[in-house]
Amino acid sequence: MAEPILKWAGGKRQLLADITGLFPRTYETYHEPFVGGGAVFFHLEPDAATINDLNTRLTTFYEVVRDHPEELIDENQTHEHAETYYYDARSEFNGIRSGEDLTPTDRIREASLLLYLNRTCFNGLYRENSDGEFNVSFGRYTDPDWVRGREIRAVSRVLQDATIYNTDFGYVREEATAGDLVYFDPPYEPVSKTADFNSYHADGFDRDDQRRLRDVAVELAEQDVAVIVSNSPPVTELYEDHDAFDVTYVEATRAINSDATNRGEVAEVLITSVPSNERRRRTLSDFGA
């Protein structure tokens, strides 16, 4: 069981047991179209997978970890823990235009800067302004670790079996076939105006996107693909008319919340198409109790 390398808003480490308990006991290929920090993917270590995120810097990072782990670890050793160095590194990172056109060396540099900034920035929160620039200030950590050789090698091994996409989540309609498992963890609708968990990427994820996601989930479930969706409570109404889905409510302690007074238990919903007697974690009612 590998651990995520990056701290990412909406990380699912505290909910791993709840989420994976709803998964089917066996499946062919695993797909995670909103992979973010990848807590569930790295925990599962699937033999065959596709992972995706719209954030190009993030998917480039995973490609570099998969294909060049040793070069990345070497590059990580060049950074320093100092406030002026941090802001220079942030400017350099924002000056790199992420994407396919980068040379291999620039991709390794970008990935290394992302990891360094993620480990040393305030709250470890990836956030972009409306121009798509990473704008988080310096964090006051005493001894942050951004080299992470052991963790990078472990995650690199898991990524060997994954195809990495950098596109809209809709790609999974073409990729998933009967017997596969898809776990969707989209940006959430805020539960209140102050609890804005949607700042992962300069582009928002609105109600129309949530409806589009529901339509893809329904289409996949009809094709015997196992589907699990994490979301916030307001979204359940989109699934109410679809008998294929069951809704479970869980309490989650969110470590990342920009408003300190708002930290605490937030109800989160897990929507699944997997029948209860086929889940990894069965309940007493499955045994006639």
Ligand X SMILES: C[S@@+](CC[C@H](N)C(=O)[O-])C[C@H]1O[C@@H](n2cnc3c(N)ncnc32)[C@H](O)[C@@H]1O
By the criterion CB under 6 A, which residues form the site for ligand X? 8, 10-12, 33-37, 39, 52-55, 168-169, 185-187, 200-201, 205
Two tokens, residue 45: 């270590």
Three-class SS state of 72: helix
Looking at beta carbons only, is 205 or 239 nearer to ligand X? 205
- Which one, 75 or 195, has the nearer CB to ligand X? 195
Give residues with Cβ within 8 angstroms of 164, minimum separation 6: 50, 51, 52, 59, 62, 63, 66
Identity of the residue, 81 or 127, whose beta carbon is nearer to ligand X in the bound complex = 127
For residue 98, the minimal CB distance to ligand X (Å) is: 13
Q: Please report how close the Cβ of residue 34 comes to ligand X at its closest, in angstroms.
A: 3
Distance CA 27, CA 273 (A): 14
Find the shortest distance in angstroms from Cβ 187 to ligand X: 5
Question: Could you tell me where the DSSP H helices lie in 68-145?
Answer: 69-76, 83-95, 104-120
Rounded to the nearest 5 degrees, what angle is found at the Cα of 170, between the Cα atoms of 44 and 32? 5
Decide whether 11 or 69 has the Cβ nearer to ligand X: 11
Q: Which residue in 185, 189, 228 sits closest to 205, CA to CA?
A: 189
Q: Residue 214 carries which side chain, given as an amino acid letter? A: R
| Nearest distance in Å: CB 287, ligand X | 32
CB of 82 to ligand X, least distance (A): 28
CB-wise, 75 or 134, nearer to ligand X? 134
Q: Among residues 63 and 74, whose Cβ is nearest to ligand X?
A: 63
Alpha-carbon distance 35 to 49, whole Å?
Answer: 11
**Smallest gap from residue 171 Cβ to ligand X (A):** 8
- CB–CB of 272/281 below 8 Å? no
